[in-house]
């Protein structure tokens, strides 16, 4: 994180602008899943956004370092480089409108303390292409592990996706039970959004690249509502710890990256922190869990 904080901050706000385009044209889905971005082999994408009679996708290409706009009949792009947030907004608006879409979004950031409107954020921001490339490679590796982890759950589970509000990449499991109303209070985010996001009991894990109180990249895992005894449950690997300030388990990205088996290191963190939530919260685990999936092998069905 300490090698690219200004670029990370710029990229966070740029993903908000792009994500808000998807939000503006998408009907509400479970827990805000309609607003997120998805990892691709080259970057992050909205997927198809149905803008009137036109389907538009916006994709951050972190290999060629361009923002690409596509429809079935057209493709255009502009370079990702040092620029202000207001300039990125102007270029994105022009790109979408050139493709036949309507770029009308809520014009200020969410989930950040100082929500300077995008059009008024005129200070030039750096763009460290090398750091962005490393971030993308991390997301690709994490996406693979998160998706594999998801196959071990029969209940409702979210896609692995990037929430541009908090700029974290997450996957969430649901017990199936309703949760008490969330207290809200997230900076520059309507409480109604948070209440819907946490309307049901969850065990959620994710990754954020630093910022927002952390000077290093971290994996995290939390439960809502927090069951009694959650923080006292034993989790692995050894580098994992419970943060009383944040109310969640943390695992430094560097500990995973430098381990002998990074995928196994992350999988054990995901599994044991989920178990901490499920055991402490008395989830109906037999009905919700299954073996981790494998290519080409259907899940066994128990008809007994």
Residue closest to 290 by CA, chosen among 176, 155, 200: 155
Structure tokens at 279: 């055991």
Q: Determine the Cα–Cα distance for residues 69 and 71; give it in Å rounded to an integer.
A: 7
Structure tokens at 243: 């943060």
Distance linking the first and last C-alpha atoms of the chain: 51
Decide: 201 and 182 in contact? Cβ < 8 Å. Answer: no
Decide: 133 and 62 in contact? Cβ < 8 Å. Answer: yes
154: left (phi > 0), else alpha (psi -120 to 50), else beta? alpha
Residue 239: half-sphere exposure toward Cβ, Cα within 13 Å: 17
Give the model's pLDDT for residue 183: 97
Tens-place pLDDT, residues 216-238:
999 999 999 999 999 999 999 99
Structure tokens at 40: 């691709």
Instruction: Name the β-bridge partners of 224.
Output: 202
Give the model's pLDDT for residue 214: 78
Evaluate if residue 211 carries a pLDDT over 90. no
* Stated pTM of the model: 0.97
Residue closest to 104 by CA, chosen among 93, 115, 118: 93
Decide: 211 and 4 in contact? Cβ < 8 Å. Answer: no
Tens-place pLDDT, residues 249-301:
999 999 999 999 999 999 999 999 999 999 999 999 999 999 999 999 998 88
Residue 224 makes CB contacts below 8 A (sequence gap 6+) with: 179, 182, 198, 201, 202, 204
Give the model's pLDDT for residue 30: 96
Q: Determine the Cα–Cα distance for residues 203 and 272; give it in Å rounded to an integer.
A: 11
Evaluate if residue 212 carries a pLDDT over 80. no
Q: Determine the Cα–Cα distance for residues 15 and 122; give it in Å rounded to an integer.
A: 17
Tens-place pLDDT, residues 74-96:
999 999 999 999 999 999 999 99
User: What confidence category does residue 196 fall into, taking pLDDT thresholds of 50, 70 and 90?
Assistant: very high
Give the model's pLDDT for residue 303: 83
């Amino acid at each position: 994180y300490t090698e690219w904080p200004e670029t990370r901050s710029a990229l966070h706000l740029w993903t908000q602008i792009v994500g808000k385009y998807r939000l503006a044209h998408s009907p509400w889905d479970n827990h805000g899943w309609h607003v997120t971005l998805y990892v691709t082999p080259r970057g992050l994408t909205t997927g198809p956004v149905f803008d009137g009679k036109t389907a538009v996708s916006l994709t951050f290409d972190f290999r060629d370092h361009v923002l690409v706009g596509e429809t079935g009949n057209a493709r255009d792009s502009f370079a990702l480089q040092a620029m202000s947030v207001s300039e990125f907004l102007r270029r994105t608006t022009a790109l979408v409108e050139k493709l036949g879409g309507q770029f009308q979004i809520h014009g200020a950031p969410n989930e950040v303390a100082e929500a300077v409107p995008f059009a008024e954020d005129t200070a030039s921001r750096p763009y460290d292409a090398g750091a962005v490339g490393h971030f993308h490679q991390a997301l690709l590796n994490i996406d693979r592990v998160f998706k594999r982890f998801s196959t071990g759950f029969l209940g409702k589970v979210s896609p692995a996706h990037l929430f541009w509000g908090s700029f974290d990449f997450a996957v969430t499991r649901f017990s199936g039970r309703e949760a008490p109303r969330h207290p809200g209070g997230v900076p520059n985010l309507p409480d109604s959004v948070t209440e819907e996001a946490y309307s049901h009991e969850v065990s959620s894990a994710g990754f954020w690249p630093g910022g927002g109180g952390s000077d290093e990249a971290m994996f995290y895992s939390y439960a809502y509502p927090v069951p009694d005894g959650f923080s006292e449950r034993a989790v692995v690997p050894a580098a994992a710890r419970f943060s009383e300030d944040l109310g969640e388990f943390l695992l430094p990205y560097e500990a995973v990256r430098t381990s002998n088996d990074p995928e196994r290191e992350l999988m054990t963190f995901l599994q044991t922190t989920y178990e901490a939530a499920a055991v402490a919260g008395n989830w109906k685990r037999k009905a919700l869990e299954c073996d981790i999936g494998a290519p080409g092998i259907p899940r066994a069905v128990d008809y007994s």
